Amino acid sequence: MAVSVEHLKTIPERVFQQLREAIVEGTIPAGTKISEAELAQTYGISRGPLREAISQLAAMGLVERRANVGARVIQMSSDHLLDIFRVREALEGMAARLAAAKMTPEQVQTLMETLDQHGETINEDAGNNYFQESGDLDFHYQVVMGSGSDHLIKLLCNDLYYLVRLYRYQFGMRSKRGPIAIVEHRNIAEAIARGDGEMAELLMRSHIRASRENVERLLTQQN
């Protein structure tokens, strides 16, 4: 997932992004203690900027910080995970509604092409969950961007989606909902394309709810 990088002017920003990626990708495993001295040396910087980066990570919920003790990479509980789905259902439902009203024809066109591509990918390679999951976020990302809401974009694209990626790594569950999700995506996109915000929200919420219920099933049968 390429992230626009143009202005990593300041050290905290750059280190924040690097740490965020390392945590999400699992390079720094869940529960790991974030040692300031160690990381400062690793990145060749002072502890000041590093602390600011850690604060940002704490603010978005990727690490938990306790005064005079330090920060640890969060390890997600089932409750925490299901909670995220509920917030996504609310926010992305609204995003879909707004996208139906505000997306430009070009954006809709791009969205459709993305879906076509996902459909092919899944046929060619039914077992590969990587592209599947990555593609899933791609779709949601585009819808949120299409909503034109700065707050929704910030909350979802800058915060929640990283938690989603983290959970996918930590729980590592293969969903098998891929083909169904593709169809649901297409239905949502068509509602957006015809400007039916009400329906777009309904379908998006239903889509995320189904995803949550699926995860809920996997969690209960696995414990």
In the complex, the residues that contact a second copy under the rule CB under 8 A are: 7, 9-10, 12-13, 48, 51-52, 55-56, 59-61, 67-68, 80, 83-84, 86-87, 89-91, 93-94, 98, 149-152, 154-155
> 178-193 and 105-124 are packed helices; what angle lies between their axes, rounded to 10 degrees?
160
Q: Which residue has 């969060």 as its token pair? A: 74
Residues from 130 through 169 that contact DNA (CB under 7 A): none
CA torsion through residues 16, 20, 21, 27, sign: positive
> Does 115 participate in binding DNA (rule CB under 7 A)?
no
Q: Which residue has 């502890």 as its token pair? A: 47
Per-residue interface string for the shown chain with DNA, residues 25-44, x marking contact by CB under 7 A: --------xxxxx------x
Q: How far is the CB of 69 from a second copy (least distance, A)?
A: 11
| 63 binds, options DNA, a second copy, none, Cβ within 5 to 8 A by partner type | none
Closest CA to 204 of 142, 132, 113, 151: 142
The CA distance from 108 to 179, in Å, is 21
| 11 binds, options a second copy, DNA, none, Cβ within 5 to 8 A by partner type | DNA
The encoded tokens of residue 189 equal 């996109």
Judged by the rule CB under 7 A, the positions of this chain that interact with DNA are: 10-12, 33-37, 44-49, 51, 65, 67-71
